[in-house]
Amino acid sequence: MSTVRIPPVLRAQTGDLKAVEVDGATVGAVLQALVERFPGLREQLLGPDGDLHRFVNVYINDQDVRYLDALATPVAPSDTITVLPAMAGGA
């Protein structure tokens, strides 16, 4: 199981969970498992084609998956996946 870090703007969809343990051999599989468990996240992360929205970045450990193999990037159980949508708040 790898760990997915949920950003504060999306925690309403995960029952306020900050981190979720999810199974999956690739980033795409992990995100698919994540949205199946928390259906409210689907629209916020993925477009109708199943691709990541352009305003959401996904990192495996500290690397942007866009510069790896995108959703096909392999995931090991020890990896941490960070979901990072753009934030605008200047308070």
Partner 1 sequence: MSKTYADLLREGRALVPELLPDQAAARAAEGALLLDVREPHEWDAGHVPGAVHVPLGRLEAYIGFAAPDTARPVMVYCATGVRSLAGARTLQLLGYQDVASVAGGLELWRAQGLPVEAPARLTPAQQQRYSRHLLIPEVGIRGQARLLESKVLFIGAGGLGSSGLLYLAAAGVGTIGIVDFDVVDASNLQRQVVHNLERLGQPKIASAAAAIGALNPDVRVIGHEAMLTDDNVDELIAGYDVIIDGTDTFETRYTLNDAAVRARIPVVHASVFRFEGQLTTFVPFEGPCYRCLYPTPPPPELAPGCSVAGVLGVVPGTMGLLQATEALKLLLGIGETYVGRLVIYDALDGTFQELSLRRDPACPACGTDAEARMATTATNGAQLAARARSAQVSA
Least Å distance, CB 51 to partner 1, is 13
Indicate whether 53 belongs to the interface with partner 1 (CB under 8 A). yes
The CA distances from residue 81 to 5, 32, 48, 75, in Å, are 6, 13, 22, 9
65-88 in b/e form (b: 16+ CB < 10 A) is beeeeebebebeeebebbbeeeee
Place of tokens 């990192």: 59
Residues 26 to 45: which contact partner 1 by CB under 8 A? 44
Binding segment for partner 1 (CB under 8 A), chosen from 2-10, 27-35, 70-78, is 2-10
Indicate whether 59 belongs to the interface with partner 1 (CB under 8 A). yes
Indicate whether 3 belongs to the interface with partner 1 (CB under 8 A). no
Binding site for partner 1 (CB under 8 A): 5, 7-9, 18, 44, 53-57, 59, 62-64, 67, 82, 84-91
